[in-house]
Chains A and B, each alone.
Chain A
Amino acid sequence: MKKEKMVVVGLLMQVVLLLGKGFAAELVQLDPALPVYEKVGGISGTLNSIGSDTMNNLMTLWAEGFNKHYPNVKVQVEGKGSSTAPAALIAQTAQLGPMSRPMKESEKDQFEARFGYKPAEIRVAIDALSVFVHKDNPLSALSLPQVDAIFSKTRRLGYPRDLRFWGDLGLEGPWVNRRISLYGRNSASGTYGFFKEHVLGNGDFKDEVKEQPGSASVVQGVSADPAGIGYSGIGYRTSGVKALALAEQEGGKPVEPSPENVYDGSYPLARFLFVYVNKPPTQPLPPLVREFLRFILSKEGQAIVVKDGYLPLPAKVLLEERAKLN
């Protein structure tokens, strides 16, 4: 069953890879100071990963790369949303919990109530959460308060009125009376949570947001719907959609989700991607988990990040995270 799922995930991933990527790989330079992965002996067994859908392809690619070094290791990846990661780590059905948002305090409480210590948090990559419209949509930039007014019924960022038609955003011609069609993620998603926190100011989504089970279906929905707008990690960008430049405030300068803008902090929706693991504070990690994380936090692992359309960690952050493994 799981194996079949892996195959399906693998196939889907190939499709996604063929369709095009988030950050064009040739534009992103890997930090030369990143350490190269060194293979160690005596690694075998099964690794389970349950969590973020945004990171589903990434985890699968990492698993494949890891398998090249250790053919005896089986890595199973399941991605239904970041909120499934804490539940799986607590139930010990997974050793790796990829999440596209930081774990909530209440989730850490539940973990701690079970094990007596907090889960270890490893930053593994950088994502620019992007707002997509159909490729034929003439719009190229929005402000966050506008995005809030499009997606939210609470409008906490203070945009004065509700935005329901593309004409409300100043588009002309056939767009004037075209109703904005909203695509979003389901509530288990960390992307949903991040968007809700940073774009909606923790307000509430409109009821008519079509909740999709995965980032790929959000992007697919928008690319098939000329009136559509949706959000997902930049890694899911395809040629059928356009990622909008975003301004933090009404009237501010819109910023493209480009690598430079993400690294210098000017793109407002940049975020870290995490992997959580169960590490007793006084004990070392199990060798298999440790090696997998070391692989992720190596030049090779970060090259895979680039391949999947996300941004690699700067060497300084990466070394900090590596230090947590010991």
Chain B
Amino acid sequence: MTEFRVAIGKRRAFRRRLADALAHGVATAGGLATVLGIGTMLLFLTAEVAPLWQGARVQLEGRVPLGEQPSLLWVSTDEYRELVQAIRADGSIEWRRVADGRVVHNSRLPGTEGLGVEAVQSPRSGQVVYWRSDGVLVAANVVTHTEYTAAGRALRPETAELGRWNLLPPGQTPRLFSTGAYTDKGISAAWLRADGAVEWWSVREQRSLLGGGRQVEMREVIRTADGARVQSMVLNHAGNQLLMGTDEGTLEVWQRGPSASQLIDRRRAADRASISVLAFLLGERAVAVGDSAGGVSVWQLIRDPQTTTGHRLVRIHSFRPHQAPVVQIARSERDRSFVSADSTGTLLLRHSTSEQTLAEIPAGSVRFLVFAPKGDGLLQITLGSEARAWRLENPHPEVTLKTLFGKVWYEGYDEPAYVWQSTGGTDDFEPKLSLVPLVFGTVKGTLYALLFSVPISLLAALYVSQFSPPRLRSAIKPVVEIMAALPSVVLGFVAGLVLAPAVEKHIVGVLMALPLAPLSVFLAGLLWHACPAVVRARMPHGGEVVVASVFLAITGYFFWVTSAYWEQLLFAGDFRHWISEVGLGRFDQRNCLVVGLAMGFAVIPIIFTIAEDALANVPQRLVSASLALGATRWQTAVRVVLPAASPGIFSAIMIGFGRAVGETMIVLMATGNTPVLDWSVFTGMRTLSANVAVEIPEAPFGGTLYRVLFLAALMLFVITFIANTLAEVVRQRLRERYQRL
């Protein structure tokens, strides 16, 4: 028998050890898996973000000798960078394959039979405008169509004349000229005359309301204000704005009105140098300026009521200078990238918004320089008429630490600013990717949520753990915890669609109730003291909650109902107007007040339940000792229990903070998601997390926006990680301090 028992004991002991080992193993594995999971997540996020800083790569893909004669006037490449298209002085056009240098197609510019061509420009892709040697200006389409056959992709060139205008006597075609694009509304051109003046011509189709149109021609001679010689000029697409650079380094901008042109502004854009090159950037809101000393900068026109014309030219970006005079600038048709070339043949790839110089290409010499249509290549023609095709990998030029976190002077803005506007409906939109408004929005939302939830949840925890009867406690705690189970999308929905309009309607009442309703509870306390002891003794333990709640509800309801009256009394009936009058900004229906309330609802249960546990777990002997020494219950709670539980309370707040920072659905639905930078409680905000949720469906995989959104996610991760680590460290320290008790 004894042996048997021993055997059972041994078996039990064995089982126990086995269970122990198993539990230990499972716990360790779980812990390791968590660490591994977090590590992998961090790694994944970093891997998605890292390519943002990879920079640009340039690679020579092919070289094709084009032949010197007849001389080249203009070159371009197709969107697949397969062909080089060259226009020569005899009006011929040839398409050569980059791969083997073979001529695959020949054509000529319309209307050039027997006549030479003097100068060619391409105001838009697929369109050329050229001077014939007899002084006639011609606009034509020279398009390369893409066709798909069973054999694969084939390119079919096509030319068609759009219009011609007899403008100059034969033999006087200009050395320097610029044209706007030909559209059904007309065309415009400007050229430098031999006497140094600039002639600006345009023809406009004017339509009357009754249909039918007539052509209005306008021709005007303009001179620089100080008689300086024009070295470079550029006309915009629409043909109503002309920029000129002079040998004295001044930049002039002229605007064409219905009857005459006007000098809008002139500024010195280069010191002790002449402006050698002007080129509009994509969107034509800003112009790249290159000078004979090698300087490169970007300028734009901003509003300035101080000047007579209401506008002023300003330099918005400066770049690393060249060592030699700038001779060419070519812009990308996909983003704000451009390439500047100097007389020694060095090419520098730049990006306007981020002010970066992304690559330096020693290219020998430059006669022509163009960007490939998709912005993924460059075509350079050397002085020896050799075409060189460069492949360009420049996936994320717009992102630098400065564009993400610094003030950037964007096109069309009167001053540098922090802006988040990531997408536009067109290609020439300048993405604005400042994370500052989003970080600000996250901090703002979190702050208002904690402002609302921390006092409520901590006081509730203190009451429930120290003062309430046990029966009440066992009812309140689960109920509050159930609150935590409410999906945040429901909270957000209710906040956005029910709470926001209701709060807006009763805004004054809500604002008054927020401080006054809690005060009414104090009032209740005073009344309670005034009551005779007989009445007080009759009150069951815990009844004070009921009384306080009733007071709270009555005052809350009172202010809610009388809101309109107070608004009339205090704010002349229109609180929203009053706010903007006194300079407190504006009032949004979906504002931080609503978000604070809704998010507070999500955070309160978390803070409450952790803080309550911490308070309830303070050793009973401390409480008993304090009471035995004659302290009141309130003194005991505040001076003994609260400090002893402070580690737990601190971590409760920090975990609440983490929840508020990462909360997505509530802010998404209860705010207008406007990325503003002001602390006002009456405006909304856009948080990092809501921003990711809003924009990820529209971010193409691997694009800049996609990666910046991952960066936002990484930042959220890091913020919560730091908050939690900090919470843990502080908690440990506090615990050590109070362990001795």
Contacts and interface: CB of A to CB of B under 8 A. Distances in A.
Most chain A beta-carbon neighbours within 10 Å: one of B576, B677, B697: B697
B171 interface: no
Contacts of B577: 177-179
Given A179-B586, A208-B588, A87 B426 contact: no
A224 B501 contact: yes
Nearest to A109: B374
Contacts of A82: 425
B149 A105 contact: no
Interface in A147-190: 153-156, 160, 177-179, 186-188, 190
B150 A109 contact: no
B362 interface: no
B694 A87 contact: no
B427 interface: yes
A281 B148 contact: yes
B698 A204 contact: no
B697 A210 contact: no
B675 interface: yes
Contacts of B581: 177
A202 B703 contact: no
Given A105-B334, A154-B412, A211-B674, A196 B697 contact: no
A188 B421 CA distance: 11
Given A154-B412, A208-B674, A202 B283 contact: yes
B209 A253 contact: yes
Interface string B699-711: 1110100000000
Contacts of B703: 110
Interface in B577-601: 577, 580-581, 586-590
A282 B150 contact: yes
Nearest to B376: A109
A117 B425 contact: no
A209 interface: yes
Contacts of A260: none
A205 interface: yes
Contact of B698 (A81, A91, A117): A81
Interface string A86-110: 1100110000000001001111011
A107 B700 contact: yes
A208 B586 CA distance: 9
Given A80-B697, A211-B674, A225 B423 contact: no
B718 to A, nearest CB: 25
A188 B701 contact: no
B700 A86 contact: yes
Contact of B694 (A101, A186, A205): A186
A12 to B, nearest CB: 13
B116 interface: no
A188 B697 contact: yes
A104 B374 CA distance: 12
A188 B413 contact: no
A136 interface: no
B82 to A, nearest CB: 14
B701 A202 contact: no
Contact of B421 (A105, A109, A178, A204): A204
For chain B, what secondary structure do more than half of its interface residues adopt (helix, strand, loop), or is it mixed?
Answer: loop
Contact of A87 (B283, B285, B576, B699): B699
B664 to A, nearest CB: 14
B426 A187 contact: no
A139 B316 CA distance: 39
Contacts of A109: 334, 374
B319 interface: no
Interface in B692-739: 694-695, 697-701, 703
Contacts of A104: 425-427
Contacts of B432: 204
A210 B672 contact: yes
Interface in B421-461: 421-429, 432
Contact of B588 (A91, A178, A194, A210): A210
Contacts of B236: none
Contact of B576 (A84, A179, A208, A213): A179
A22 interface: no
Contact of A156 (B410, B412, B501): B412
Contact of B683 (A81, A208, A221): A208
Interface in A121-160: 153-156, 160
Interface in A251-284: 253, 280-282
Given A154-B413, A208-B683, A81 B697 contact: yes
Nearest to B125: A105
Most buried by B among A101, A109, A194, A213: A109
Interface of A: 80-84, 86-87, 90-91, 101, 104-107, 109-110, 116-117, 153-156, 160, 177-179, 186-188, 190, 192-194, 196-197, 202-205, 207-213, 221, 224-225, 253, 280-282
Across the A-B interface, the 6 shortest Cβ-Cβ residue pairs:
A193-B425, A281-B148, A83-B698, A210-B672, A188-B698, A154-B412
17 contacts: A82-B425, A86-B700, A87-B697, A87-B701, A91-B701, A104-B426, A109-B334, A155-B303, A179-B577, A187-B423, A187-B694, A187-B695, A196-B426, A202-B283, A202-B429, A211-B674, A282-B148
